[in-house]
Structure 1
């Protein structure tokens, strides 16, 4: 990696980590907000769900736009506007207005992922896809660690409002760092472009049976490559990953009756383990000879097993419950890394990296949108144990969906040989 590549990668990493400062702060602030506003968990979950709905729809729209516009100003607008929204949220007392602004925040932050994947696809060759995917995915955990650590300390010393003001100010400052530091010739970089023959022989290309061209629409690619079947796993891991992210602190606080300071301390273990999950996914993918689907199936199966163990640990001590919750989060994050980064990078040749990243992220966050209000409703009415049962079922459904997709691909290969 040369100097310019390092600079581009670090700016992309910091941009996406900064985005998490402006979204995960809600998770830590949620218990105090529920208490101050007199909400039930369903109402609190609605705030998170509106964010995810807006984020999911935005991914579909902005992923497509991301292939058409310059990434540098596009991402600057997203970061600057989202930071201002966060600062405004700290001044609100109206639930309706808070939900509206948090939804706008979700749409703005959806402007980041697709263009960032496009930038990376232009600056790094395909043989680096696995390393780039693992590296950029750690930005999510970096954002969580900074946000949950920083916001957790802020919450101990001040009110929930500061959980939105401080991240907003930090991200606003960084948005100008991005604008000044990002290269103007990003769109011209073509380090990853291969010939069609090279692309077909690339062992990391999982779409080997499909002929594409740059003129094909996203719809043609989705159905031609059976990408729509991968959406099932994206939705499943989205419910689990973001369900744990949004409700993890509340979950631990309620099943063990912890004070906010203890909740913040134990919650930090979740993103730390998730970081190891991302690295584990990269290692596993290499061991599976870059057969992403098989690696994702194993990660989702492991998620189901971890959630199953979590269910039986709910009445045990806090350390055991936190461990299994963290392992489930780690494996779901690992699946997320392969689903939402490596697969879109395979479509860079056809100038569809941003659009494919947006589509898969859309599917993931539709699941996350369900996670917010559905998890809150189940927790209110059936208890946290049933929430964990839901996670087990969804992880298995995602794994089975990918297995069926792989079986169909193998059947098609056999028919072609015959």
Structure 2
């Protein structure tokens, strides 16, 4: 939801502050500066301190930064910095969530867990696109950032309460003794030295470069749609905020069904190989 709130709010914000397309693009893109730079550090932090703690802090950082957007909107350096912080908080979260899944979910359930968790990204995009227009029209564009930021802070507080007294995320799930030994061995393998990775063979692999290429193209199209479709429909096709949001919701809506379908395929292949 916090990825797309600015995509809708940027339209009335640009009108209010007299921003050109270049300035609006600067505000939009500043999120990705933090999002890109925090990916690798996020993986290292999750491996070192555990995904649970990194996820908590990431959500808190980006939620506070989101709630500060209306306060800093008239001060461009502060606004850009707040969006960078949103990107940093969200950038560490995928690695943290993946680490949390790896540490707590049985192997046979991981594909389902990954599709459920990361499918939430598309669900959030859909919810953000649908909620933002009526909030802006009834309470002003500032309400989107206040409400979404408070939701994240509430999640952080609830997560603290629910996890209080539970064992650390570094513990494995309840299972047999042999299963625990196998899980501990897996964690030890994950903790091996980075020097053991065959980097030369890794980057010579055609499959690796194929995945990099596909991921880059997919992400480029995905985030371009999330960031700019509402503006395009509003400015070029003269749709109002609600109409622009309803059309923009189609790509993430399709993503929800594709993610679940891919999860089903993965589970079928896992069954065949097992």
Q: TM-score range by the shorter chain?
A: 0.7 to 0.9
Query: Counterpart of 1:256 in 2: which secondary structure?
Result: coil
Distance 1:244 1:128 in 2: 31
Match of 2:215 among 224, 227, 234: 234
Distance 2:195 2:4 in 1: 30
Q: Is the 8 A contact 1:28 1:249 kept in 2?
A: yes
| 1:62 counterpart = 2:39 | no
Post-superposition offset of 1:99: 0.9
Q: Deviations over 1:97-143 (max 9, x none)?
A: 21111112211222211121111112223333322222112210221
Q: Deviations over 1:52-73 (max 9, x none)?
A: 1211110111111110003333
Q: Is the 8 A contact 1:72 1:184 kept in 2?
A: no
* Partner residue in 2 for 1:186: 169
TM-score (norm 2): 0.82
Distance 1:250 1:194 in 2: 54
TM-score (norm 1): 0.55
Matches within 5 A, 1:166-205: 166-182=147-163, 183-189=166-172
* Partner residue in 2 for 1:117: 98
Q: Is the 8 A contact 1:72 1:179 kept in 2?
A: no
Unaligned 5+ runs, structure 1: 1-20, 200-211, 291-418
Match of 1:143 among 124, 130, 133: 124
Match of 2:192 among 215, 229, 245: 215
Q: Deviations over 1:356-376 (max 9, x none)?
A: xxxxxxxxxxxxxxxxxxxxx
Q: Is the 8 A contact 1:90 1:164 kept in 2?
A: yes
Distance 1:213 1:166 in 2: 39
Post-superposition offset of 1:275: 1.1
| 1:128 counterpart = 2:105 | no
Matches within 5 A, 1:248-287: 248-285=229-266
Distance 1:243 1:218 in 2: 36
Q: Is the 8 A contact 2:115 2:263 kept in 1?
A: yes
Post-superposition offset of 1:164: 0.7
Unaligned 5+ runs, structure 2: none
Q: Is the 8 A contact 1:130 1:282 kept in 2?
A: yes
Please provide the CA RMSD for this pair.
2.8
